[in-house]
Structure 1
Amino acid sequence: MKKNIIRYVLISMFSGAILTACNDDFLNTQPLDKATGELVWSDAALAESFVTDLYNGLNAGMLDQQNMETITDNALYNFGKQDIMEANVSPANVGWVSGNYEWSAMYRRIRAANIALQNLASPKFDNAGTVSADRLKGEAYFMRAYYYNQMLRWYGAIPIVKKPYDLNNPDFTIARNTYEECVDFIVSDLDSAALLLQGKTLAAGRATQGAALALKARVLTYAASDLHDIPTASAKSPVIAGAPNKEQLGYISGDQTARWQKARDAAKAVMDLNIYGYKLDESLNAPVTPEEGQQNYINMYLSRGGGEREAIFSRYFLNTKDEWGAWYPRNNMPNGYHGWTSSEPTQNLVDDYEMMDGTKFDWKKPEHAAAPYQNRDPRFYATVLYDGAQWKPRTSDGKGIDPYGQIQMGTYQIGSASNPTTYFGLDTRNSSIENWNGTRTGYAIRKFINIDPGIEDQNTRQEVPSPQIRFTEVVFNYIEASLELGDEAEALKWLNRIRFRVGMPAVNESGAALVERYRNERNVEMTFEEQRFYDTRRWMIAPDVLGEKVKIVKITGTLKPGKTVQVYKYDPENYTYTYTVQDIDPGVENRRWDDKMYFMPIHRDEMNRNNKLVQNPGYQ
């Protein structure tokens, strides 16, 4: 016992001596799992890592399971309606808000950009090395502008915070700027980014001079649109007319024509770089073949075969990383291929695709109604999976049932015509493969899905980038500004090049009819690329479009007299097909529009935190 006591005393004395001798070193030990701010901004590699993290605010976007198109007339979400679709959003229930728009998530990224810009103002590392402080500043300016614009087109004006808050500034309340101030600030950031990034070669997925100029063109196009010209918007919307904060929604004075000229100049600046675009040069003076047109469109959205030049700014994915964007095929393939059919094209969208001769599709025409999927715009076949579409081989459990690899969205007869039995298509909600996730609309997404050999089922991820900004959007912005400025010849030249690239004939309308053709062209070309929701609002056609009921199609295949079929495939020789278009069951979704939805509500928690905020009109 005595020996143990002596041992404990000696150990305690020894330990105390060590702690006393090493006390200063111990207290000054740097954390092993993170770098200090001082260290980050004095080391080029760590500074680059900080700026790289700004890009993590980009979510899967258009390659997410629920594509933003599902809150427009173009698509339906299979797994439950969102309140935004039925105009039920409020400050307590902001509805469909992804990471791209949520207030606090955006400001967290903006604060990080502010920290980067503050520390990069006087870089503490060699600015002439591989990692340039000017390049990092350019990226930070771009990302700050990107996040501010995401909020601007969702909420209208927001508070502009130019530097990071700290504990020396205890008042974190700040009022919303005017819409004009927000546009000017974002454009200034993008001009700074373009200047700093000029001539810089960056890895794929990072901001570039072209990305900054292209985003500037988008910002100015939106700013020039009717929704943000308050005299025009007030005449069209009683909610906006009665708003107490009109200056936060748009321009209360000034020249809309001058704003359109700025938008056109910004788009032309990107076009004049001559580094982007896929098969849109002056040599394209006639339509390519339909087959080439379809392949051109696929090459663009898969970023391959030259289509890479179409992407200006994209979000990239790795098939080795468990991300929603990489899982896009599983999330959206038909259930007969073990997909989830999550975001589904509507009949509304399908009807927007023209016939190959450029005329409008019309269910009232017997020849159209009898074969609605024949002789359509080649982009339809590259975008939508429809009944009878030739796609890819089934997985092992479906190959015996469907050895042809065709989409089956209907209900058909098999056996003999005199004594038929009912067969439910493999891609319906009565499928023998999976019956819980079949299409509700009669369609599934084809766009953005890579069907190269080796990519067979839901267990294979893909590496198709999500294009946040692509060159054709810039060209559309240029066309739109040209139309608004009365330069129809220039608008037609570029509009027809876009059509020729996919095999469609020229348009030659003028006036309001040309505007309608342009708007339809923009929709079918940019479908599932997060354009439609903003376009219908800024054009102020949302009451007629976003409030439209979702239309679906029911398909039946009846055996012709004397015909016998044991294994089903699409075959007009053996079958008579009937296509019944109807509104979707209101229990699934019952869309309506309210003018308050021109601007989304600021969450009440943000309103409670900041008493200087003014809520958007129409929300209590």
Structure 2
Amino acid sequence: MKRTFKYISIFVISGILLSACKEDFLDTQPLDKAPGELVWSDAALAESAVTELYNGLFEGMLNQENMDCITDNALYNFGKQDIMEANISPSNTGWVHHTYEWGEMYRRIRAANIALKKLAAPEFENTNGIVERLKGETYFMRAYFYNQMVRYYGGVPIIKSPYELTSTDFTIARNTYEECVNFIVSDLDSAALLLNGKSLTLGRATQGAALALKSRVLLYAASDLHHMPTYINNLQKSTNRNIAGDLFFSKPENVALLGYPAGDRTARWKAAQDAARAVIDLGFYGYNLDLSAPVTPEEGKNNYVNLYLSRNGGEKDAIFMRQFINAKDEWGAWYPRNNGPNGYHGWTSSEPTQNLVDDYEMMDGTKFDWNNAEHKAAPYDNRDPRFYASILYDGAPWKPRTADAAGTDPFSQIQMGQYQIGNASSPTTYFGLDTRNSSIENWNGTRTGYAIRKFIDPNPAIEDQVTRQEVPSPQIKFTEVVFNYIEASLALGQEAEALAWLNKIRFRSGMPAINESNQALVERYHNERNIEMLFEEQRFYDTRRWMTAPQNQGEKVRIMKVTATLKPGKTVPVYRYSKDDYNYTYTVQEIDPGVENRKWDDKLYFMPIHRDEINRNNKLVQNPGYQ
């Protein structure tokens, strides 16, 4: 029987402490923690120590500050961030490092190294294979943490064993990117061998999680960003200069820190494809991917909601998740309050942009186009079902309002615009409840004209302002693995195979098949990957490794302004979205540069190592653009 995995710190374990020695009252043990020498002699304590590693996952994408805000997908409501305006430096490493900061990751890696050392010669009985399982989980978590660092910095120092008190030199050079990839893959292979089958406990590492993470690592390794000839060529085009004489690039050993200077790139793509296929062939995962034609739009919307709530079959897509429980007051469980509309007393923290909304296709698979009069008059009609499952827009049906707003909006509709009410001959201006001029709360309204719906439980009984939710944060999904397989297949020229799997995902969401080829197919794939895995911390990494970040991370944020005027002869005492009563005007504009003025600098392809780390370790080489 499955049970939800609860994260428990080894430092709060009770009931296993030793009594004080009667002969010497000074010979006592602390009452709030287990002595280190006991941890690895007791199976339960050893498991708790390994469990502590999972706390390094933090909330993931179910946070107030979603990483999609660094891309064209979203805007952060409460102040521009330096990384969005290319102002980060070794002394100001930016918002992206709040979660997976260099020092924090190495603290977690040290804990994993200690666990692996102790588990190599366990002092407790190996009941039901607990030693192998704990070792497998530890290998996985060490690989996970190293991969987080490599995604930011390129090659980092590989530390395989814990430093001891007798150690005298704590400086260590960065390993090459290739060495890091090989090390991470080796850890994941070890984890997969030790973790046979699926865990009976949600939230813990499994064989599938190890193989799925391996597919991600190898996909990144094959991508443009880490193929140094492509990377350097793109930089030279961007800057219109030869960078070979630059301080960083003048040394071949430095270039190897960021990727592969040479080698068989086709082999790297094949390794990525094989890794993804290995997960597919497990047969454990997959939700409604056996379709030969699109489901209805309503079914497509429901399928997508089930996927991100991990319910009603959608949990079959979950490979590795960060779990939340109502009884534990964790930030990720407050996701609806942190990101829901202010007219529901939410904070509207991470807001979808018009840039993103324009990327949702029409229901027939054609592109949305503001130059199309029909599209412009009704931009929220006949769109991809995933749009309605992901975005709260003007007129969208949503939950019943709280008591203080129910009288103003008895129809439970999102109000993102400026409207007229009263009599058409002498109307009164009314600002929607979910705007920055709301009569409910006006300090936290949307700046873009949109709010997040994805990952918020639509159950009307859940009042988001005061109730935590138990929707898990997806760290690795089977859908990502399928996309990894598609991308590798495209790179290998296997378009028919790629199309077959891409259309399976589209059919599940109610969208028609696509049949493009060559670069047009690659672009459709890029868009499909973004729409399907929206707000899952993919876009930031994807646009960098595809080297499309100058557009996708440097593009100015566009926002929506909605106005509605009463039609002649109409009288409306309380506002309700109605094309019968109103004429709607939709105006797209760039956001005020005082709020945010996005810029791109090529140095952002790799993050800076903090100056403090460089000062502590003189063997570290700083990334290009930050010297």
Q: Which residue of 2 aligns with 1:274?
A: 283
Q: Which residue of 1 aligns with 2:100?
A: 101
Determine whether 1:488 maps to 2:495.
yes
Q: Which residue of 1 aligns with 2:235?
A: 237
How far residue 456 of structure 1 moved from its aligned partner, in angstroms, is 2.0
The 5-angstrom pairing of residues 199-598 of structure 1 reads 199=197, 201-238=199-236, 242=246, 243-244=248-249, 245-281=254-290, 284-598=291-605
SS of the residue 2:321 aligns to:
strand
How far residue 457 of structure 1 moved from its aligned partner, in angstroms, is 3.5
TM value normalised by structure 1: 0.95
Q: Which residue of 2 aligns with 1:7?
A: none
State, as a whole percentage, how many aligned pairs show the same letter. Answer: 76
- Letter of the aligned partner of 1:602 in structure 2? I
How far residue 601 of structure 1 moved from its aligned partner, in angstroms, is 0.2
Whether the 8 Å contact between 1:101 and 1:154 is mirrored in structure 2 is no
Whether the 8 Å contact between 2:199 and 2:205 is mirrored in structure 1 is no
How far residue 202 of structure 1 moved from its aligned partner, in angstroms, is 3.5
The 5-angstrom pairing of residues 3-152 of structure 1 reads 25-127=24-126, 129-130=127-128, 132-152=130-150
How far residue 130 of structure 1 moved from its aligned partner, in angstroms, is 4.3
Cα deviation digits, residues 48-84 of structure 1 (max 9, x gap): 0000000001111110001111111000000011100
Instruction: Give the stretch that moved more between structures: 235-244 or 350-359.
Output: 235-244
Distance 2:573 2:22 in 1: 85
How far residue 564 of structure 1 moved from its aligned partner, in angstroms, is 1.2
Distance 2:520 2:458 in 1: 38
Cα deviation digits, residues 528-557 of structure 1 (max 9, x gap): 000000000000011111110000010000
Decide which of 136, 139, 152 is 1:154's aligned counterpart.
152
How far residue 318 of structure 1 moved from its aligned partner, in angstroms, is 1.2
Determine whether 1:195 maps to 2:193.
yes
SS of the residue 1:389 aligns to:
coil
Q: Which residue of 1 aligns with 2:10?
A: none
How far residue 395 of structure 1 moved from its aligned partner, in angstroms, is 0.3
Distance 1:70 1:42 in 2: 46
- Letter of the aligned partner of 2:308 in structure 1? Y
Distance 1:87 1:276 in 2: 40
Whether the 8 Å contact between 1:214 and 1:266 is mirrored in structure 2 is yes
SS of the residue 1:89 aligns to:
coil
How far residue 166 of structure 1 moved from its aligned partner, in angstroms, is 1.2
Cα deviation digits, residues 234-283 of structure 1 (max 9, x gap): 100138764331100000110111100000000000000011110112xx
Whether the 8 Å contact between 2:67 and 2:96 is mirrored in structure 1 is no
How far residue 606 of structure 1 moved from its aligned partner, in angstroms, is 0.3
Whether the 8 Å contact between 2:419 and 2:563 is mirrored in structure 1 is yes
Whether the 8 Å contact between 1:222 and 1:228 is mirrored in structure 2 is yes
Distance 1:457 1:251 in 2: 47
How far residue 585 of structure 1 moved from its aligned partner, in angstroms, is 0.2
Cα deviation digits, residues 199-257 of structure 1 (max 9, x gap): 36341000000000000000000000000000111100138764331100000110111
Instruction: Give the stretch that moved more between structures: 90-99 or 544-553.
Output: 90-99
- Letter of the aligned partner of 1:85 in structure 2? M
Whether the 8 Å contact between 2:155 and 2:177 is mirrored in structure 1 is yes
Distance 1:372 1:569 in 2: 18
Whether the 8 Å contact between 1:300 and 1:310 is mirrored in structure 2 is yes
Distance 1:99 1:211 in 2: 24
Q: Which residue of 2 aligns with 1:178?
A: 176
Distance 2:350 2:51 in 1: 30
Cα deviation digits, residues 142-196 of structure 1 (max 9, x gap): 0000000000001111000000001111111000000000000000000000000
Whether the 8 Å contact between 2:339 and 2:346 is mirrored in structure 1 is yes
Whether the 8 Å contact between 2:489 and 2:495 is mirrored in structure 1 is yes
How far residue 464 of structure 1 moved from its aligned partner, in angstroms, is 0.3
SS of the residue 1:388 aligns to:
coil
How far residue 99 of structure 1 moved from its aligned partner, in angstroms, is 4.6
Distance 2:415 2:73 in 1: 21
SS of the residue 2:365 aligns to:
coil
SS of the residue 1:482 aligns to:
helix
How far residue 417 of structure 1 moved from its aligned partner, in angstroms, is 1.2
- Letter of the aligned partner of 1:456 in structure 2? E
How far residue 30 of structure 1 moved from its aligned partner, in angstroms, is 2.6
Which structure 2 segments of 5+ residues have no match? 1-20
| Cα RMSD for the two superposed structures | 1.2
Instruction: Give the stretch that moved more between structures: 348-357 or 319-328.
Output: 319-328
Whether the 8 Å contact between 1:202 and 1:208 is mirrored in structure 2 is no
Distance 2:339 2:452 in 1: 6
Whether the 8 Å contact between 1:100 and 1:106 is mirrored in structure 2 is no
Distance 1:58 1:133 in 2: 22
Distance 2:512 2:69 in 1: 30
Whether the 8 Å contact between 1:395 and 1:457 is mirrored in structure 2 is no
Distance 1:213 1:590 in 2: 40
Whether the 8 Å contact between 1:57 and 1:99 is mirrored in structure 2 is no
Larger radius of gyration: 1
SS of the residue 1:109 aligns to:
helix
Distance 1:339 1:475 in 2: 34
> How many residue pairs are counted as aligned between the two chains?
596
Distance 1:521 1:23 in 2: 69
Whether the 8 Å contact between 2:321 and 2:472 is mirrored in structure 1 is yes
How far residue 321 of structure 1 moved from its aligned partner, in angstroms, is 1.6
How far residue 27 of structure 1 moved from its aligned partner, in angstroms, is 4.1
Cα deviation digits, residues 26-45 of structure 1 (max 9, x gap): 34333222222221111000
Distance 1:430 1:351 in 2: 25
Whether the 8 Å contact between 1:91 and 1:604 is mirrored in structure 2 is yes
SS of the residue 1:375 aligns to:
coil
Q: Hey, which bits of structure 1, 4+ residues long, moved more than 6 A? A: none
Distance 1:319 1:387 in 2: 31
Q: Which residue of 2 aligns with 1:169?
A: 167
Distance 1:611 1:317 in 2: 41
Whether the 8 Å contact between 2:562 and 2:585 is mirrored in structure 1 is yes
SS of the residue 1:61 aligns to:
coil
How far residue 524 of structure 1 moved from its aligned partner, in angstroms, is 0.4
Whether the 8 Å contact between 1:326 and 1:463 is mirrored in structure 2 is yes
